Structures are given as C-alpha cells and as structure tokens.
C-alpha cells in the first residue's frame, strides 16, 4: 500500500549548477600520451599515440592519429617529451 510522502524542500538540487549538455553528453579529455608507434604502410608511415582518457580505465586507452591529436590537443605536446616509439608493421 502506498503512503503519503511529505517532501523536504532542502533536498532539492538546483539544475543550474550541473554541467551537463542538453543532449546528456560530455567531452572526454585525454590525460597523457602513454605510447607512440609508427606503422609502415605500402607508400607511407602512419604515426599514432596511445591515449588514456579521463573517466576511463587504463585498459580502455585508444590509439589516435598523430595529426588529429596535435590539432585537437596541442597542450599535450608542449613539454616536448614524447614516449619512445615502437615500430609495428602490418
């Protein structure tokens, strides 16, 4: 059986302080550059970085293209320190 609930107005959270967009999404921010590798294709070489993201586990780090990372997140490259590169060929 349902009982009558008396609400407490002090428990109401104002929605203006919450930083969620209208479509309920948020932007992932890279934490650091964990690794770098260069893959040799037939006619060129493709460099990529292993990037762990904020709010994700280390196992869920992704490989991202070097050009895209430098355009979108130049602050990661400002120190000039890039991890040792590993060479993988397909």
Q: Model confidence over 41-75: pLDDT tens digits?
A: 999 999 999 988 887 765 678 889 988 988 988 88
Per-residue model confidence (pLDDT) at position 89: 45
Q: 88 pLDDT band (50/70/90 cuts)?
A: low
Query: 3-state class of 76 per DSSP?
Result: helix
Q: Model confidence over 18-50: pLDDT tens digits?
A: 666 677 777 788 888 888 999 999 999 999 999
Query: Could you identify the residue written with the tokens 């919450």?
Result: 18
Partners of 37 in the beta sheet? Answer: 48, 86
46 within 8 A of 63, measured Cβ to Cβ: no
Cα dist from 20 to 13, 23, 72, whole Å: 14, 8, 21
Output the CATH code of domain 27-89.
Answer: 2.40.50.40
- Please give the structure tokens belonging to residue 90: 């397909």
């Amino acid at each position: 059986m349902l009982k009558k609930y008396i609400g407490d107005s002090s428990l109401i959270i104002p929605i203006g302080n919450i930083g969620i967009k209208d479509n309920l999404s948020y932007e992932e921010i890279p934490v650091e550059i964990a690794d770098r590798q260069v893959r040799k294709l037939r006619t060129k070489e493709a460099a990529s970085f292993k990037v762990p993201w904020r709010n994700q586990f280390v196992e869920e780090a992704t490989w991202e293209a070097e050009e895209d990372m430098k355009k979108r997140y130049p602050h990661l490259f400002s120190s000039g320190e890039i991890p040792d590169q590993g060479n993988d060929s397909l």
